[in-house]
Amino acid sequence: MSTEAIAETFDKETTTQPVIAASGLCFSYGTGELTKQILFDVDLNIMPGEIVLLTGHSGSGKTTLLTLIGGLRTLKQGRLEVLGRRLDGADKDALVQVRRQIGFIFQAHNLLDFLTARANVELVFRMHPEVRRAEVQRRAAEMLTAVGLGQRLDYYPSSMSGGQMQRVAIARALVAEPKLILADEPTAALDSKSGRDVVNILQRLAREHHIPILMVTHDDRVLDIADRIVHMEDGRIVS
């Protein structure tokens, strides 16, 4: 088989099964008269390896959509399948199981201030006790080196810059080989240079490991990394 043929088969196999398949998602906060509907009939499919940016003004519902996909909120209406699991009507344990396969990157890095960069990344493997300690240490160090922090393994968050801390957070999100990355404005708290670095690293690692990314962003400077841009307005996907 030629390289092209392999690529084709690969594409066929993977394109048939979306990583995220959402249809008819509705979501509202509050109850009774105070109910405020945030999402209206949202449909969204994301294919393996795809980098999708989710843009829109504040209040457009993009972060809510991200929390639903990440299994951080329970869905009440609509159909949602993430990594082959149905999330609508899923119980707490099922949500936790899905979350463990997702790499999360938040606007705030939220690293544990009492652990070093290395320990923050190694911590993830507490959820994967089958991985041996030596391998945990090797993979954490490799991942931190991949995000350009090979010289700062034993630094505490308090002695790192914002960009460095966000890169540790990326290493933490990627070290356990997630099948999906969800990122919420990872560059919002960073200056343009660090922001660019962070996004470049994210893009490169996602491509290398063939991991799809769904990223919420306001930042026009990073739109070029996307395969596709989804724009939201008032709880609906408009393009």
Partner 1 sequence: MKFRAPIAWSQLSHGRIKLLLAIAGVLFADVLMWMQLGFLDAMFESATFVPQRVSADLVMIHPQSQALFRMTQFSQRALHRVPAHPQVESIQAGYVGICDWRNPWTQRDRQIFVYGFEPFRVPMDVPGLAEGWGQLRNPDVCLFDKKSRIEFGDVPKALAEGREVQAELNRRKMHVVGLVEIGASFAVDGNLMTTDTNFLRTFPERKSGWIDFGLIRLKPGADIVKVQKELQATVGKEVSLLTRQEFVDFEKAYWQKNAPIGFIFTMGTAIGFLVGFVVVYQILHTDVANHLPQYATLKAIGFTDGFLWRIVLQESFILAILGYLPSVLFAFGMYKVAADATHLPLKLTAFRAVLILLMTVTMCFFSGSVAVRKLRSADPADVF
Q: Which is nearer to partner 1, 47 or 122 (CB)?
A: 122
Give yes or no for residue 140 binding partner 1 (CB under 8 A).
no
CA distance 180 to 83: 8
Least separation in angstroms between residue 218's CB and partner 1 is: 14
How far, in Å, CA of 64 to CA of 25, rounded? Answer: 11
- List the structure tokens of 239: 């393009």
**By CB under 8 A, residue 63 contacts partner 1:** yes
Q: Is 188 in the site for partner 1 (CB under 8 A)?
A: no
Interaction between residue 161 and partner 1 (CB under 8 A) = no
**Nearest distance from C-beta of residue 104 to partner 1, angstroms:** 5
**Measuring CA to CA, which residue among 226, 217, 221 is closest to residue 60?**
217
Per-residue mark of binding to partner 1, 163-182 (x: CB under 8 A):
---------xx---------
**Binding residue count for partner 1, defined by CB under 8 A:** 36
Interaction between residue 67 and partner 1 (CB under 8 A) = yes
Q: Write out the two tokens for 31.
A: 């109850």
Q: What are phi and psi of 15, to 5 degrees?
A: -70, -20
Give the C-alpha distances (Å, rounded to integers) separating 5 from 8, 14, 208, 214: 5, 14, 20, 28
Burial class of residue 182 in the structure, from the number of CB atoms within 10 Å of its CB (0-12 exposed, 13-18 middle, 19+ buried): buried
Of 6, 127, 223, 238, the one binding partner 1 (CB under 8 A) is: 127
φ, ψ (nearest 5 deg) of residue 105: -125, 125
Residue 31: DSSP 8-state: -
| Shorter beta-carbon distance to partner 1: residue 185 or 197 | 185
Q: Report the residue from 22, 66, 141, 170 that binds partner 1 according to the rule CB under 8 A.
A: 66
Q: Does 110 bind partner 1 (CB under 8 A)?
A: yes
| Residue ranges that bind partner 1, judged by CB under 8 A | 63, 66-67, 70, 72-73, 96-97, 99-100, 102-104, 106-108, 110-115, 119, 122-124, 126-127, 129-130, 132-133, 136, 172-173, 184
